[in-house]
Every structure is written in structure tokens, then in C-alpha cells.
Structure 1
Amino acid sequence: MRDFAETRRPFGYFVHHQGRGHAERCASLVNALPDSRPVTIFCARDDIFPALRGNVEIRRIPSLFETTGEERSGFDGIPTPETVHCAPLGWPGIRQAMALISGWFAKADPALMVCDVSAEIAQLARICSVPHVKVLQHGDRSDPGHRAAYDGAVGLLAPFAAELAQPDWPAQMRERIHFAGGLGLRTEAADRSAARRMLGLDPEARMALILTGGGGNGWSTAPFGVAARTYPDWQWISIGAMQGDWHATEGGNLRHTGWVETPEDYIAAADLVISSAGNTTCAQILRAAKPWIVVPEWRYFDEQLEKARALGRAGVALHLDHMPSSAHAWRKAVAAALAGHAPDAQQALIAPDAAAAAARWLDRLVPDPMTEIANEGEFA
């Protein structure tokens, strides 16, 4: 009789440390893999991850884009080739990070490397003859660097529903995508009444939530001062990063809470959400099925802009390119978001078993004898 507890060849996993979404979906996915599958995570931070199962280790690597003072000057005039994005010359930290990962490739003989996200790390895996899965994000990624990372992958993992795919993605790319809407979501949120009790909010008053993720510096406060004065009978609460404006005339019905550990409770308590378009933020709002105004923050390759456009096309959010700048613009936007609310369509974009299904897909991608044995037993 075959021993299914035998340790399988390891998976590697590169996690970008900007924001929290990359780490949260990594934890969700690796925790859904069998205990017999070791995973080594490479990240510049080890304090951004939710709890991880046994047989998973985090190896810290130097940041690929933050300076340390040890960089050699004199190379800034050398142009960056189109096949890479973040490859400055003379940076020892990048050299060390690549050496740590490629050294692990040589010693561990991994079955697969998941890359979330870096076109350079994805290409490194391919060059080192390691099969890799590239996490797919929205944005204009038609450049040679992204194309090489995608074309060289054995599969593409999209942490969102197929309904949010971009229309410019070619068929040969789409047929290799595994869509995992809601990947990275943690605990279920409370309902509106329970969330308001937990947060000490008026159970009857209307509340608008302003939400930004952890990947940027947030919005300026001035537009929300206008919104709060336009709707004086609403409570307006912001969570996440916000930039103060000296000219922002904020009333007493606007409160800035800053970073919170349970944004899902605030979302559950809200009657309207105004948010940026980070992937985890969007998934939390879709699951809660709230009237929603989505405004993209600046990101590389127009990631949030394309995500917001996809949400608008799917009819699950009101997409605006910028915050309303006047009382009458706020009235128009709020009215449109409330009138266009489609809760069933929103919740349909979240898969209840996103992590488990993605874990099974990863296992099926690799010609690993132990995986084949396990699958024979599963489908016998």
C-alpha cells in the first residue's frame, strides 16, 4: 500500500511585500495545500502574513526596489531593456535576493514556483528550469517583460472571477488562467447589525465607509469633507491611509480611523462603500454585497484603473476615475451607486472554495509522482 504521507517535492512562493493582499492570498493558498507539500516563501517581510500551517517556512530576502545605501552610482544613464521592469544596475540587494532564490532552486529541486508578483522572478524561475505559475493582475501588461513572464509560465492564477477578465486578454492566455474569485479572504464578516454593535455605531443612522488598502498613501481628505457636508445626516468613516488637506472643511460627521485589523466589520456595517481598487479590498466588498463607488488609485501599469473598469463593466460597482469634486457631483454619484446596486451579481463573483480549488489546480499542474498517486486515490 502506498504511503500518501510521504513528503512531496516543495513549492516555492515569491510574495511582493507592498500592501497586504499578496501575503493574504499566499497564506490562503498554501494553507489549502496538503500538509505533505512543503512550501518555502520568499519575501522581503515576514510580519505581513496571517497564520501559516506547518511545513511552510518564510525566507526573508532583500527588497527588490528599496535602496540600502550600498548601491553603486554611475549606472543610471544605462537604459532599462523592455524585457524587465525593475532591474537597476549596481544594486547588491537585488543580487543577493536572486542568489538566495536560485540557490534554493538548485538545492530543493522544487516542483513549482508561484510568483506574486515580479516579472523578473518569474523569468528567473524559467531560466533556472523551474516550472512557475504567474499570479495575474489587472492593468496594461502588454509589454515584453510581462509577456515573457506569462508566456513562460505553466499556468496563470487570477485572484478574481472570470467575469472580471480584461477584454484585451487573448484566447491563448485565457485558456491557461485559473480564476479564483475571493482568494485571500479570511474570516466571514458579521452582518450589518452585529458589525455595528461591535464597532459601537448607531444601529439606525446611515453610514458611508471610505476605504483604502495598504499598498499606497491613500487619498486626500478634502473630497470627503465635501461629501460629509452634502449628507449631514450620514456618518462618514474612513479606514486606511489618508492624506490631510489644509483646506479640507470637515464636519463632525466625518471620522478618520486609520489602519484597522478587521476592515470586513466596517464594510459589513456600511450602507455605502467608497473604495480604491486593490484586489483584497474589492473581494471584501463583493462578498459583503454593498452599494459601491470604486475610484482607482495610481498603480504601476494602471492596475487599479483596469480593475475599476472591469468592475464597472460587470455592473457590480459605480466606477469613477476621480473623486467627486462638488456637492452636486457627490449627490449624482451616491444616487447612481444606490440605484445600480446588484448584490446577487456581486456575491456571484466570490467562490466559496477559492483556495481549495486553486490548491488542487496547482497540484495538477506538476508532474509529481506523489501528486499522481494522491489524485488516483481521490478519483478512484
Structure 2
Amino acid sequence: MRDLVHDPAPRPFGYFLHHQGRGHVERCAAIVAALPPDRPVTLFCARPELVGSARAGVEVVAIPSLFEATGDERAADWIETPETLHCAPVGWPGIRRAMAEITGWFDRADPALIVCDVSAEVAQLARICSVPHVKVLQHGDRGDAGHRAAYDGAAGLIVPCDARLAQPDWTDGMRAKSVFAGGLGVETALPDRADARRRLGIDPDEEVVLVVSGGGGTGFAVAPLAVGARAMPHARWIAVGRLEREWHATVPANLHICGWVETMADHLAAADLVVASTGNTTCQQILAAGLPWIAVPEWRYFDEQIAKALALDAAGVATHLPSMPSSIPAWRRAVAMARARHDPDLQRDMVRPDAAQHVAGWLEALAARLDAPLPQLASGA
């Protein structure tokens, strides 16, 4: 607890928040809520409505999107992108305005640090502006110069997973300045199984396969799910999230396509087996539920979900398939493998209920270290 009489008011934290997918928003909300109430926070996001209501002392600043064109751009794509950047097209007024908003705040606010979730360009911008940045480290093929510059220049790294899911190419230096936080931003407590099934109208003895398709892309195709449902005709298959329909997909009666639901906790509590992609939120929820899991990654930049699925499989908490099974026998083999490898205790041990408090305390300690005065050099004779 700070001594409010003798300690000066804490300097603000900044937080750059990507608006694709759910994980960025959920992590941000959890961390900000766990910070001390007297710590000012300024959030920068292209879709501020995603942030929702924030506690006192939190400012939400709307900035233009860094990758969605508005029609005012100039065609300068012939200029080669350097290896140190990912998405930095030339001639985009929106990007210029977004960066001006952030750098203007740097100058006015003198922040203690900024959390970047995620953009290699914004992270490097902070370093160039002499502002310490904390980078969120995600899975994926991120050994390129742009990512490495963002990681190497960071004061610290927030890793929203258990340390046992670390990628082999994460260096000792990266791990040394990382805080691992499995379950960050995700509600890990589940309702009672019988109560959940009653609310969903599912019989107590009915077998349930839950399909979870992510929100950061186009979602799973329906056709292979229909094949899977036919492979298990006595089970109820429930598909939630975004799905892509094909003209040739014939849906059997035991496949229920529900779209987005507000009852994910009930669905997980009611399930016997999960087929899901490997986005951050989905992973943490399934691990907390401790269910047999067939992990099928969706396309994402830098192969993020592929790398996550490989890490989950290597740790023994999911069965990775590079794509959906394409036949009834293949589905039956995949289900048998997932059940044979299932270790619910290991899965649940990958998430920590106090993940947000753990990260918030780590950020506060890092800010205190960054605020420490420089050692005085001895004067010469």
C-alpha cells in the first residue's frame, strides 16, 4: 500500500490495445481492474467501445485503425517494407494521426510505461520516444527482425500462458524478463455440470461434443463438423462461434449450430469433449474446464494458432491436428486419441485464478524499478 502522504502520485500507465479477437480486450480489462486504484491508465484503441466501462482514473482514447483503410490513403505500396516493420504502409493519414495521438500523450503525461498488446511498430515507437514498454508475447513464428526489436527493447514481457507452454525459440533473455500468466483475462470458474445441462436443455446422460470456433477470422467450415457428427450419431454436437457454410455441407440432426452464445461457461461445463481452435481465450477456458481437446488451429498472422497448438500438444494438454478430419474413420481416431491422452489435472494446473493480480503486481514492481534514480557517478579529482 502506498503512503499517500509522502509518496508522490503515481505516474500513468499507457496501454495500446489491438481490436482483433477477444484476448487483447480481456487481458487489458483484467489487468487494469487489478492495478491499484490510484494508478492512472490511458488506453489507446481503434474500437473503444470494446473496452466498456472502466474504473475511475482510466482514460480511453479512440485512435484510427492501423490496418483498416478509409479511402484517404495514397498508393505508395511500391515502397518495400523493411524487415524491422510488419504493417507500416506509406501514405496512410490514419496511421499518422494514431501515432501522433500516442506520441503527444507520451510528451504530456510522462508515463511510467506503456503496455503494448500488440504491435511491433507501437512498441518500437515507445522505445524511440524514450518510454519504457512492456510487450505482450504471443505464440507464433516471431523470430523476424520486427518482433525481435520489440522484444529486445522491452522492459518486460507479459506472456498470457503457463511457462510450460513456452516456445523452444524463446530465448533465456526473453524468459528472464517475462511474467507468465496462464488464465489471464478469463473466468476460470465453471458452473455445476448438472445445472448447466439443465439450463441448456441437455439430458444428464447425453454425450456432448462442443465445437468452439474463434472470432478473429472466418471460423471453422461446417462440412467437416457434419462428418464428425455422423461419426458419433448418438452424441449431441454443439457448434458455437463463427462458422463458414459450404453449399455442399449437409448437416445431420445431431449437429446444432448455435453461433455466438453468452453461455460459454454452461456449454463448457456440459461438454464431454471439445473440438476447438487455439485462440488465447478459447485455450484458457478449455484448460480451466479440464476437457479432452482436439485442437485445430485457424489461420492467423505469424502462424500464431499453429505454434500454440504445437505447444499444447507437446505439453500433453491437447491433441493437435493440422486440419479437421476428413472422414468418419479419421474423426473416430482423433476422438480416441484425445480421450487416451486426457489429463484434466495437468490442464487445470495451466491456469491460475490470480493471474491478473499477479501481472498487476509485477507491473507495479517494474514501474518502481524504472523510477529508481540513477546512481551518482563519483566526481573526478
The TM-score with structure 2 as length reference comes to: 0.94
Match of 2:74 in 1: 72
SS at 1:367 equivalent: helix
> Does the 8 Å CA contact 2:112/2:371 hold for their aligned counterparts?
no
* Structure 1 residues 218 and 2, CA gap change in structure 2 (3 angstroms): closer
Q: 2:78 aligns to what SS in structure 1?
A: coil
1:300 maps to amino acid: Y
Amino acid at match of 1:268: A
Measured in 1, the distance between the counterparts of 2:144 and 2:19 equals 23
In the other structure, the counterpart of 2:270 is 269
Instruction: Tell me how large the CA RMSD over aligned residues is.
Output: 1.7
2:225 is the counterpart of 1:224? yes
| Letter of the structure 1 residue corresponding to residue 316 of structure 2 | G
Question: Contact 2:83/2:145 (CA < 8 Å) preserved in 1?
Answer: yes
Cα pair 1:11 1:110 within 8 Å, conserved = yes
Structure 1 equivalent of residue 379 of structure 2: none
Tell me how far apart the structure 2 counterparts of residues 193 and 45 of structure 1 sit (CA, whole Å): 38
Per the normalisation by structure 1, the TM-score is 0.94
- Provide Cα deviations, 1:306-334, integer angstroms capped at 9, x if missing partner: 00000000000001000000000000000
Query: What secondary structure does 1:210 align onto?
Result: strand
- Report how far residue 285 of structure 1 moved: 0.3
Instruction: Give the aligned partner of residue 10 of structure 1.
Output: 12
2:376 maps to which residue?
Answer: none
Residue 123 of structure 1 aligns to a residue whose secondary structure is helix
User: 2:78 aligned with 1:46, yes or no?
Assistant: no
CA drift of 1:203 comes to: 2.1
- Unpaired runs of at least 5, structure 2: 374-381
Q: Residues 30-179 of structure 1 correspond to what in structure 2 (within 5 A)? A: 30-49=32-51, 51-73=53-75, 75-179=76-180
| 8 Å contact kept, 2:188–2:289 | no
Q: Which deviations, in whole Å up to 9, do the C-alpha atoms of 1:177-216 show, x marking residues without a partner? A: 1100100013622132121122222222101011012111
One-letter amino acid of the counterpart of residue 68, structure 2? E
SS at structure 1 position matched to 2:185: coil
* Residues 177-216 of structure 1: pairs in structure 2 closer than 5 A: 177-186=178-187, 188-216=189-217
Task: Tell whether the 8 Å contact from 1:9 to 1:368 is kept in structure 2 after alignment.
Answer: no
Per-residue CA shift, 1:155-179, capped at 9, x if unaligned?
A: 0110000000001111111111110
For residue 175 of structure 2, what is the amino acid of its counterpart?
R
CA distance in 2, matches of 1:161, 1:30: 20
- Judge conservation of contact 1:364–1:371 (CA < 8 Å) in 2: no
Contact 1:229 1:250 in 2 (8 A): no
Secondary structure of 1:186 counterpart? coil
- Identity across aligned pairs (percent)? 61
Secondary structure, aligned partner of 1:12: strand
In the alignment, residue 56 of structure 2 is paired with which amino acid?
G
- CA contact under 8 A between 1:27 and 1:51: conserved in structure 2? no
Matched, 1:312 2:309: no
Structure 2 matches for 1:287-326, cutoff 5 A? 287-326=288-327
Q: How many residues align?
A: 371
Structure 1 runs, 4 residues or longer, greater than 4 Å off? 368-372
Distance, in Å, in 2 between the alignment partners of 1:370 and 1:166 is 32
Unaligned runs of 5+ in 1: 373-380
From the superposition, tell whether residues 368 and 167 of structure 1 become closer, same or farther in structure 2 (CA, over 3 Å).
closer
Aligned to 2:361, what secondary structure does the other structure show?
helix
